[in-house]
């Protein structure tokens, strides 16, 4: 009776691990958290044209005060932002939604827009100063835009009217100011890699009627 012994091969590392390994091997400075969230956005939420922006560099040379004075602990992520284009609209302000209804527009009629994401990990220290710094840095980030094909669905007139109205709302901030997604990845003990997303907006923006 011959005993068959199977050599148990080491399980192959996941696609995510490979991505993070390859990135760190190539000397890419982006942290594992950023890459993990980017991976999640790309494959679970099907975002496209994803980019990583480094916002740690002070925008003004004379500005010597560090923007992230608390980013000293080793497990802190380098201050980065991810941006990408979601397949569906992530956020619509309630007043904007009302206006769209009045114009007979649906969310799918609008062209997809770039949205910013702050990558964070559970257990990471956070503060109002860091939050404000991200919002301040956002206006300086210039994402590389690829021209998109506009679909014609016979609503060009309403769309033009909508964009004009939105331009006005943007100035008065009546449809909300700057907004960003706060992504949090579960990395602690037994963390299974879930990523949760929260919409963060500057100022007092009335809630949606979900």
Partner 1 sequence: MDSLPTLPIPISFISGRYLLFSIDAVTYLRREHNICGVLIGTLPQIPQQNVFLGLPLELMPEEARVLVDRGVACIVDEAKAHDGMKSLLEEDRRQYLRELESQGLHATRILSDRKGQQRDQALKKLDEKAKAKAKAKAKATKAADDNASASSSAQQDEPASVVDLFADDGSNPASSSKPLTSSTPDAQLAMGITPATSYPPLPHPSSSSQLLSKPEVPLSYPLFAHLHSRGYFLSPGLRFGCQYVAYPGDPLRFHSHFLVVSAEWDQNIDLMDIVNGGRLGTGVKKGFLLGGPEKSREEVNSEAERVESVRAFSIEWAGM
Which residues of the chain form contacts with partner 1 (CB under 8 A)?
45, 69-70, 90-91, 120-129, 131-132, 135, 176, 181-182, 184, 196-210
When the beta carbons of 35 and 41 are compared against partner 1, the nearer one is: 41
Shortest reach from residue 155's CB to partner 1, in Å: 25
Name every residue whose Cβ is closer than 8 Å to that of residue 130 and which is 6 or more positions away in sequence.
Answer: 68, 70, 71, 79
| CB of 99 or CB of 135, closer to partner 1 | 135
Nearer to partner 1, 29 or 123 (CB): 123
Whole-number minimum distance, CB 88 to partner 1, in Å? 9
Q: What's the min distance (Å) between Cβ of 61 and partner 1? A: 23
> Using CA atoms in the order 60, 62, 67, 72, what is the torsion angle rounded to 10 degrees?
130
Q: Which is nearer to partner 1, 126 or 163 (CB)?
A: 126
Rounded Cα distance, 207 and 93, in Å: 8
**Contact between residue 140 and residue 63 where contact means Cβ atoms under 8 Å apart:** no
Closer CB to partner 1, 107 or 164, in the complex: 107
**CB count in 10 Å sphere of residue 21:** 13
Report the half-sphere exposure of 180 (CA within 13 A, side-chain side): 25
Least distance (Å) from partner 1 to the CB of residue 204? 6
| Residue number, 16 or 91, with CB nearest to partner 1 | 91
Q: How far is the CB of 182 from partner 1 (least distance, A)?
A: 7
As measured in angstroms, the least distance from the Cβ of 56 to partner 1 is: 18
Long-range CB contacts for residues 141-146, cutoff 8 Å, separation at least 24: 141/53, 141/55, 141/81, 141/83, 141/116, 143/51, 143/53, 143/83, 143/114, 144/51, 145/114, 146/49
- DSSP-derived secondary structure letter, 180: E
């Amino acid at each position: 009776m011959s005993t068959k012994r199977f050599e148990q091969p080491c399980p192959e590392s996941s696609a995510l691990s490979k991505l993070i390994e390859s990135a760190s091997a190539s000397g890419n400075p982006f942290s594992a958290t950023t890459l993990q969230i980017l991976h999640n956005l790309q494959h679970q939420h099907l975002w496209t044209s994803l980019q990583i922006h480094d916002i740690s560099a002070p925008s003004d040379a004379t500005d010597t005060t560090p923007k992230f004075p608390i980013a000293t602990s080793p497990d802190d992520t380098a201050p980065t932002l991810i941006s990408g284009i979601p397949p569906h609209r992530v956020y619509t302000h309630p007043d904007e939604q009302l206006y769209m209804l009045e114009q007979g527009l649906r969310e799918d009629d609008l062209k997809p827009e770039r949205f910013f994401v702050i990558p964070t990990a559970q257990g990471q220290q956070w503060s109002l100063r860091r939050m404000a710094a991200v919002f301040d840095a956002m206006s300086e980030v210039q994402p590389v835009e690829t021209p998109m094909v506009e679909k014609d669905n016979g609503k060009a007139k309403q769309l033009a009217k909508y964009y004009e109205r939105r331009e006005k709302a943007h100035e008065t901030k009546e449809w909300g100011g700057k907004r960003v997604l706060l992504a949090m990845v579960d990395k602690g003990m037994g963390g299974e890699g879930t990523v949760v997303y929260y919409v963060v907006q500057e100022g007092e923006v009335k809630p949606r009627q979900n």
